[in-house]
Amino acid sequence: MSRITRTSALAILLALPVGCASNNSSSGSTPTVVTDTLGKRFDASCSGGFCTLTPEDPTLKPLSCDYGYGSDTFVMLWSRVLTLHILNVVAGAPIEINAGEPSHPVACATDADCTPWNATLGATSYQFACVNQICQDTAISLTAEDVVTLCQADIPWPTTCPYVATEPFASRLAEIAAVCGAPAACSVPADCWQAAAPVDGGLPASGLDGGV
């Protein structure tokens, strides 16, 4: 695919599906708390192959900025990057996940923060490790939705809408469009959280190799 424009990138990014999975850890224990890259802690509850998250901060409310009926909910998504995502759930309707909705990577200090979330989704067996302070399965290639999540790592969860048209997310989407020639062949813009530690000595205090 040729390099895509910002407009077409938005159309592609907003249509990318990402699966959910249940915990299949060999340890038999399911963690009850996960932390995002802003240090926000969430209590996890998994049932029927779907994990919902409740923020420990009572002032933090899920806001997907999707229109229509349903309830906005923090959920866990399994991909190359283990992700906390805000999803609009409509009772009795199929689950639809858009990469352009708010999301953050799951943060970690050691592999122990990630490996309990190892799971099998369809034909993919996810084996997570703590890489560059986020949970990743490095055997899986980065896709556009992973890059979108990495580029939201330092952006606060939204409190108002719209979201995709609001800075700095709108500029990040434009950057992603410039480097993602195809959804499965993306690199990470320099001002986003990197999948691998930068060669210049590691993560700055902000967790980003660069700034907005």
The 3-state DSSP class for residue 137 equals coil
24 domain-assigned: no
199 domain-assigned: no
Question: Which pLDDT belongs to residue 157?
Answer: 97
β 41-47/103-105 pair status: unpaired
25 domain-assigned: no
Nearest CA to 158 among 51, 52, 85? Answer: 85
Number of domains in the chain: 1
Cα dihedral: 120, 125, 128, 134 (round 10): -80
48 domain-assigned: yes
Question: Which pLDDT belongs to residue 2?
Answer: 28
164 domain-assigned: yes
Find the helix or strand (DSSP H, E) in which 134 lies.
Answer: strand 134-136
Question: Which pLDDT belongs to residue 193?
Answer: 95
Question: In this structure, what token pair is assigned to residue 84?
Answer: 């906390």
Spans in the chain with pLDDT lower than 50: 1-20, 22-29, 202-212
Question: Which pLDDT belongs to residue 122?
Answer: 85
169 domain-assigned: yes
Question: Which pLDDT belongs to residue 183?
Answer: 54
Question: Which pLDDT belongs to residue 59?
Answer: 96
Cα distance between residue 191 and residue 210, in whole Å: 5
β 103-105/83-89 pair status: antiparallel
Preceding omega of 158 cis (within 30 degrees of 0): no
Question: Which pLDDT belongs to residue 163?
Answer: 92
70 domain-assigned: yes
Question: Which pLDDT belongs to residue 92?
Answer: 81
Find the helix or strand (DSSP H, E) in which 12 lies.
Answer: helix 6-13
Residues 6+ apart with CB under 8 A from 135: 81, 82, 105, 106, 107, 108, 113, 114, 117, 128, 129
Q: Which residue range is the domain that position 143 belongs to?
A: 6-17+33-179
193 domain-assigned: no
